[in-house]
Structure 1
Amino acid sequence: MATRYYISLPEPTRARGSDPALAFNAHGAEEFAAQLQDALRTTALFERWRQRQEDPDGVDPSYGATDPQATVHGQQDNLHVVLVVTSTIPGNVLKHRLRLLAGSSWELRDVTAA
C-alpha cells in the first residue's frame, strides 16, 4: 500500500547532506523532486552510501528497498520547497535517504494513505 509523505525544505540552499557525493545538488523544486524520486526508484544512492561504509556487506539490505513506481512532485512555496512523495518505501528508508540527501534540513509535515 502506498503512502503519501509531505516534506518541506525550509531553506533549500541548506538542504545538503554531509557527504557531497551523496547530497542533493539541486537548485529548484523540480530538481529536488527528480533527485529524490531517483533515490527512491533505484538503488544508486543506497549503493554509493553502502560502499562508503566500513563493512559494506554488513549493511542491512532492507535499506536498499526501491519502489519503481514512486513519484515525487516538487513545488516552490515562497522561499521553501514542498515535496510530495507517493511511495511504498518504508518510512525509515525514506528518512534515511532524505538524511543522506538533505542532512537535517528537511521536515516531515504530514503522512497520509495514498
Structure 2
Amino acid sequence: MTHRNHYYLQVSDLAHARGAQPELSYGGAGPGDFAAALQEALRSPLLFQRWRAMQPEPDEVDERLGVTDQLASVSAKVVDLHTEVEVISDLPMSILRQRLNWLIGASWKLHDVRPA
C-alpha cells in the first residue's frame, strides 16, 4: 500500500530557476507553467527517458528511477515575491527531488511534508 504525501515547496526566483541541462530544464513563464511541467514530470516517464538517453550507459540506469504517479497533482502560486508549490503524490521524496532538480536545479526548498 502506498501513502500519498502533500509536499510544500518554495521557489524564490522562478523566473530564473533552471536545471543544469537545458534539454531537461523548465522553460516556462510562470507558476502555472511550472506546475504543469512538474505535474507532467511526475505523471509521465518522458522526462526520465530523456535524462536516461543522455547517460553514458542508458541500459544500465535503474528503471526504478523512472517511476511515475498518474494521480500526482501540482499547484503553484506567487506569494510575497516567491512561488509556493504544493505537490500531492505517492512518489518518494527522492524521486520528487530528482525531477525538481532536472527542471529547476537547486532553486527550491522543501518546507513541509504531511500525509495527504
Q: Bin the TM-score by the shorter chain.
A: over 0.9
Corresponding position of 1:107:
109
Q: Distance in 1 between matches of 2:16 and 2:32?
A: 16
Aligned partner letter, 2:108:
W
Cα displacement (A) at 1:78: 2.4
The amino acid of 1:45's aligned partner reads: L
Q: Deviations over 1:20-61 (max 9, x none)?
A: 110111211111100000000000100000000011011111
Q: For 1:42 and 1:105, locate their aligned partners in 2 and report how far apart those are by CA, in whole Å.
A: 22
Please, which of 46, 52, 55 is the counterpart of residue 53 of structure 1? 55
Structure 2: 5+ residue runs without aligned partners? none
**Superposition deviation, residue 13 in structure 1:** 2.0
Counterpart position of 2:4:
2
Q: CA deviation at 1:15?
A: 1.3
**TM-score (structure 2 length as normaliser):** 0.95
Supply the RMSD in Å over aligned alpha carbons: 0.8
2:48 maps to a residue whose letter is F
Aligned to 2:92: 90
The amino acid of 2:33's aligned partner reads E
**Sequence identity percentage:** 41
Could you tell me how far 1:72 is from its partner in structure 2? 0.1
* Stretches (4+) displaced over 6 A: none
Q: Residue 67 of structure 1 corresponds to which residue in structure 2?
A: 69
Contact 2:31 2:77 in 1 (8 A): yes
The one-letter code of the counterpart of 2:114 is T
CA contact (8 A) 2:19 2:101 kept: yes
**What amino acid maps onto 2:84 in structure 1?**
V
Q: Which runs of 5+ in 1 are unaligned?
A: none
Distance in 1 between residues matched to 2:78 and 2:54, nearest whole Å: 33
Measured in 2, the distance between the counterparts of 1:104 and 1:42 equals 22
1:14, distance to aligned residue in structure 2 (A)? 2.4
